Amino acid sequence: MFIYLDNAATTRVCPEAAQAALEVMTEGFGNPSSRYALGSAAAERLERDRAVVAAALGCLSEEVVFTSCGTEGDNWAIRAAVEHGRRKGKHIVTTAIEHAAVLEPIRALEREGYEVTWLRPDREGRISPQAVEDALRPDTVLVSMMLVNNELGTLLPVREAGEAIRRSGCPALLHTDAVQGFLKVPFTPAELGADLLTVSGHKVRAPKGVGALYIRKGLKLKPLLLGGGQERGLRPGTEPTAQIAALAAACAAWLPHREAYAAHMRAVKDRFLALAEERLSGAVVLSRGDAPHICALSLPGYPSEMLVRELGDRGICVSSGSACHRGKPSHVFAATGRPKRELMGALRVSFSPDSTAEEAEALVSALEEIRRARIPAGR
């Protein structure tokens, strides 16, 4: 038995994406910067693929710059935003439940003298729109807030943050890490009021090693790297054309079914949560998740790392939080202020369009088996 329910960590590459990557690697392998026919063909395909990703985002092609991953996009957006506002202030607003790709560069800026307001969530992992508005100041140069939390599945008030920035008149740029929201929840950067927005390919059935940064038209940013003139001089380095083709193919395959996929993932998730509440006495739902594909559950008294290991031995893949924690306690779950006993038994379960109700039922049955076989910690 093999059941994969850790799709917030990464997804299986879809056949369309794999085929597109293979075609580019074996046939259209030219360097887009080369001036002969093979290079020109690669450049033309690159721009077609950019248009597909832009259509999936709901923005202009010229607003999409390809990156190697979400972490690169987040780091670039944050560094470029504070550089853009360097003469206007040194205040940043973010949340305590961001991905490490946002937390760590902002902590580095804090060490460099920036003042940071860290917004904390309630027990459900929600950030108050009023808290965002109250945090804004005349010297705020960046608000960075993820669209969908990667461990709780909660939607954060990004749109409201954009509206608050405009009302306040402060010079802040709005960045959102939309890695978990892309193709899962409806949005466009313009609807959110985002100046900068990050996505990653391997969360939407493209391979690892490719992402994109939306940069609002007219916004002039410094590149994170220096080198050649690729990506209009914004992101130097030969473009990873195979990965980009795969990302475009994954977007094209997902987009026509977006609503159906979301409904399916939500139905499977709801089935899992209903069975867990019915059959796992004492289980605590930490978050039902606003996004269709993520929820969080705790089995107090049963350490999450033990549960992940025991489930893995049974061929079932879930996590105890973000893959980037590597076994360390989740700062996201801790920020909700729930009792330690609940936090120590936390599991994140995340679904894909390929997930089934039978897989959800198998996960609950496996958790029942593990609980019968083990004495809870603390007894």
Which of 15-34 are b and which e, b meaning 16 or more Cβ less than 10 Å from the residue's Cβ? Answer: ebbbebbebbeeebebebee
The last residue of a domain, from among 233, 255, 277: 255
Q: Facing residues of 177 across strands?
A: 198
- Are 235 and 263 within one domain? no
Same domain, 20 and 140: yes
Q: Considering the chain, what is the average pLDDT of its residues?
A: 95
Position 228: which residue type?
G
Any catalytic annotation for residue 295?
no
Write the CATH number for 327: 3.90.1150.10
Whether residue 286 is found in the same domain as residue 276: yes
C-alpha to C-alpha distance for 341 and 114, rounded to whole angstroms: 35
For 93, list phi and psi in degrees, rounded to 5: -115, 130
Q: Do residue 245 and residue 354 come from a single domain?
A: no
Q: What does the pLDDT read at residue 328?
A: 60
Of 203, 227, 255, which residue sits at a domain end?
Answer: 255
Q: Are both 244 and 365 inside the same structural domain?
A: no
Q: Which amino acid is at 374?
A: R
* pLDDT on residue 71: 97
- Same domain flag for 201 and 266: no
Beta partners for residue 144, in sequence order: 175
Residue 301 falls within a domain, yes or no? yes
Domain-terminating residue out of 222, 255, 288: 255
Residue 124 has pLDDT above 50, yes or no: yes
* 379 located within any domain: no
Query: Buried (b) or exposed (e) across 300-325, using 16+ Cβ within 10 A?
Result: bbbbbebbbebbeebebbbbbbbeeb
- Position 13 confidence tier, pLDDT thresholds 50, 70, 90: very high
**Is the Cβ–Cβ distance between 295 and 287 less than 8 Å?**
yes
CB 138 within 8 A of CB 93: no
On whether residue 61 sits in a domain, the answer given is yes
Comparing 11-15, 227-231, 271-275, the range with the smallest average pLDDT is 227-231
- The CATH number that applies at residue 221 is 3.40.640.10
* Residue-level pLDDT at 377: 63
Number of domains observed in the structure of the chain? 2
Q: How far apart are CA 344 and CA 341, in angstroms?
A: 5
User: Under DSSP, is residue 9 helix (H, G, I), strand (E, B) or coil?
Assistant: coil
Does position 188 have pLDDT exceeding 60, yes or no? yes
**Do 228 and 313 have their domain in common?**
no
297 and 150, same domain (yes or no): no
Percent of the chain residues past pLDDT 70, beyond the cut: 96
Question: Using one digit for the tens of pLDDT, what is the confidence trace for 311-358?
Answer: 999 999 999 865 444 556 689 999 999 999 999 999 999 999 999 999
- Give yes or no for residue 104 having a pLDDT over 80: yes
State the catalytic residue, choosing from 14, 59, 170, 324.
324
pLDDT for residue 378: 55
Residues 235, 66: Cα–Cα separation, whole Å: 8
> What pLDDT is stored for residue 323 in this prediction?
47
Q: Are residues 56 and 198 in the same domain?
A: yes
Residue 259 pLDDT exceeds 70: yes
Residue 378: inside a domain = no
Residues 240 and 287 grouped into a single domain: no
Assess if residue 184 is contained within a domain.
yes
Q: Please tell me the predicted confidence (pLDDT) of residue 374.
A: 76
Helical ranges in 215-329 per DSSP H? 241-254, 258-279, 304-313
CA distances to 35, 93, 154, 294, 379 from 290, rounded to whole Å, are 48, 23, 5, 8, 35
Question: The tokens of 162 are what?
Answer: 């954009």
* Residue 347 domain boundaries: 3-11+257-373
Same domain, 236 and 280: no
pLDDT in tens, 194-231: 999 999 999 999 999 999 999 999 999 988 888 888 88
| Strand duo 91-95 + 284-287: pairing | unpaired
Looking at the fold, whether 104 and 229 belong to one and the same domain comes out as: yes
Alpha-carbon dihedral sign for residues 33, 38, 40, 44: negative
